[in-house]
Structure 1
Amino acid sequence: MKIINKDIFYVTSGIIPHPVGCRGIIKNELSVKICRKWSIVYEKYIKYIDYWQPGMIQPVQVDEKLWICNLCRQKELSIDCESVGNAFTKLNRWASEHDLQIYIPYRIGDSNYEWVDYAKIIRSKCPDSVICYPKLFLNQSLDTNYQDILESLIPDQNNISISTILKILKRKINALPTRRIRDSNKSLFSSYTVSNTQYIYLVSLDGLIQTINVFFNALKKLEENPEIKVLYQNLIELKYEFTEIIKSLPIKKFSDGDRWDRIALGELIEFEYDCVDLEDVNNVIEQLLKSI
C-alpha cells in the first residue's frame, strides 16, 4: 500500500471503494460528494436496497475507465470489521480480474476510529491499493482561476498601476490556506499561559511560489496592449525580486496529518512542508508598495 498526493475526485481511472450501509442512508461527507458527482452510484445503491447484506460489493462504472464500488459495511450504526474485511477481499479480487488500480479515499469512514479500522483492513486485504491523501495545505493553495483579475484590470488598462496589482496579489495570498501554530516568542506573558499566547500563521512556501507564478502568468495578457507593455515588463522584474525575497524568509517546518493519520498510516505518512510566516510575507509586500 502506498500514499499519493491526490484528491480522490481527480482520479480518472481505476476503482474507488464507497462504503454504504444496508438502510439506504447517505450521510457522511465523502458519500454525499460521490453521489452528487456520480448520481448513478446512488441510483444503483438504492435500486438493490432490499437485497444488501454486509460484505456485499457493487461495482458501478461512472466513466470509461473509472468505477465506484458500493461496499456494504454494516446493518447497524457501528462498523462491522469482519464484513468490511470480506467486502475489501472481494473488491481486491474483482479489481485484479479487471486490471484496475484501487484508490482509497483519505479518511474513509464516518469517524477517526473508523478511519483507523479501515486503514488496518485495507493494509491486510488490499495491500497494493493507493491511498489518495490530498495535501490540502498545498493542493488548495493554488487557485488557477484568475479570470477575475483580468476582468477587473483589462477594461481600464490605462489606469493600471504596479501598486494596484500588488494589492490584488496581497489579497490572493492572504486567502491561501494557513496552519496556525503557537509562537512562544510572541507570548504576551508566559508560554504556559495558553490563553495569552499569540499565534503565527504559516503558509506553504511551494504553494506561495506557485500562486505568485500563476498570478503573474494571468497578467501576461496585459502585454498585448502596447501602451502598457513597459508596465508588464516592470511587473516581471518585480515578480523575480518578490520571489527571491520570499525564498530568503526564515523557513519553518510543518508536518501535516494529525495523530489519527499517524495511527492509521504509521510510517507511510511523512509529509513535511517548508513554510513561511504569513505576516513576514505581508511585510515584504508593504515594503515593496512603499518603494514604488
Structure 2
Amino acid sequence: MLEVAVSVPLFAAQDRIPPRGGVGLKAEHYRTIIETLPDIGFFEVHAENYMGAGGPPHRYLAAIRERYKLSLHGVGLSIGADRPLDAEHLQRLKRLIERYRPGLFSEHLAWSSHETWFLNDLLPVPYTTETLARVADHIDQVQNTLGRQMLLENPSTYLAFAESTYSEIDFIAEVVRSTGCGLLLDVNNVYVASTNQQWDPVAYIDAYPLAHVQEIHLAGYTREADDKGRPLLIDTHNRLVDEIVWDLYAHAVGLIGPVPTLIEWDADVPAWSTLKQEADRAEAIMLSTKPEAVRNAAAR
C-alpha cells in the first residue's frame, strides 16, 4: 500500500479521559454509582447496549455521564467482515457519540457478520493484503462518518490462518499507518493469544506500535486444554485479572507511560467493590511504574 499522510480529528479536549483506571459500566451498579459517586477515572460502555431511543439505560447513563468521563466500545461494526459496513448501524453509532461525547471510541479487529447474519462472537481475520485493504477502507469509512478517530483493539485469537502473509503486529501497524486510527492494547488478549499460539507475550508488547496506544484493557480469562492437553485460554471476562497479566500490564506501562486503563468484566459480574479494587490496582501500577524514557534519563 502507498504511504499517505492521514490526519484524523480527535475528541474534544474537555471530554478527554485521564490516565486512570476505569471500569465497564454494568446495569447492576447503576444505583450504587449514582448514590455513592465513587472516585473512578472513567466508565466504558458497549455501544450496542445503548442504541435504543430511550428507557432506563439511557436515563442512568445520562446521569452518570454528567459526572464522569466516558469511553465507548463497539462490538458490532464487523470491521474485518468481507461485506460493506452496515450503514444504519454506523448512523446509530454516530448519534450515540453525538449524544454522550465519549472521550474515546474503539472497535475490534474482527468480524461478526456474514451476508444478512450477525454472529454473537468476534472472529479473527487472516492477515493478508486483501484483508488489510478491506479493514483500512472500513476504518476510513467509520472515521469519516463519525468525524472522529477510532481505536482498533488487538484480537484474542485461538489459531492462525495459513494464508496470512503479515504477522499480527505488522498488520496492525500497517492499518495504523494507512488510516491514522489509534490503538487499544488489550493486554489480556496478548496473553491469551500468546499462550494459545506459543508466542512470547513480552516480545509481542515490545514490538507493538506503542506510540499509538491510547487505552488499555485488562480482563480475566478461563484456562482450559485442547485435545492434545496443551493450555488453551479463553477470553471470558468473568473473573479477576490474572497475576501474569498484571505483570505484562506493568511492563507495557513502563514502555508507554500512564494511559486510561479499563477493567473488563462482562459475565458473572461481581460486586462494585471488586471492580473498583481492580481499577485502583491499575492506577497504583501506573503511579509506581516509571516509563522507560524516564528511567533511561535518570541513568545517564
Normalised by the length of structure 2, the TM-score is 0.29
Larger radius of gyration: 1
Normalised by the length of structure 1, the TM-score is 0.29
In terms of fraction of residues, the more helix-rich structure is: 1
